[in-house]
Amino acid sequence: VSTQSHMVRPHLKHYQVVGREQPSEKNANPTAFKLEVYAPNFVVAKSRFWKLMNDKNKVKSTHGDTLSVKVIKDRKIAARNYSINLVYYSQLCGYTYMTKEFRDVSKAGAVSQAYNDLASRHRARYTNVEILSVKSIANEQCRRAFVTQFHKEGLSFPILQKKEKVARKDRAIFVKKGTKRAVVQ
């Protein structure tokens, strides 16, 4: 995998995690909670779910059951504008709420961009960021210049240095170091 294609691919997936408190004598039929989490894999998604459950509903993972963990696939792939509401914690100024806009082909891609942006501009770590909501917005609702620059009609990305593909019979299998001569067997 080349580094260029690896940078474009989102490093997070969109998970839906369902869990509840374990049934007990006090609460025989506990409420099931469903949360959407963005994480690199399902282990981190479950961990993130239980961290949120502990913060919001006072239920620890040791006293809870994970009912299901599913990857949510986006609808048809198309470039959309996403508005992401989030809160992050920094030692300098405590909790900070903000709304960010990104253009991407999936929610997971937009959230990955948001995490990268927060890490670079605000030094916020993955564990200190909580995504509150992600919604698709229309072109007219976008305010950020780096998103609105892609809304122009007739926008094109020309390939300026198109390379001709070398014929299979002319390709070199081994190239000797320091020379341009191919070693053919």
pLDDT band per the 50, 70, 90 thresholds, residue 3: very low
CA distance 31 to 105: 34
Q: Considering the entire predicted model, what is its pTM?
A: 0.78
Longest dimension (CA), the chain: 80
> Torsion angle, CA of 149/153/154/158, rounded to 10 degrees?
10
Which structure tokens are listed for 100?
């960010």
Mean pLDDT of 115-135: 94
CA distance 126 to 55: 17
CA distance 31 to 33: 6
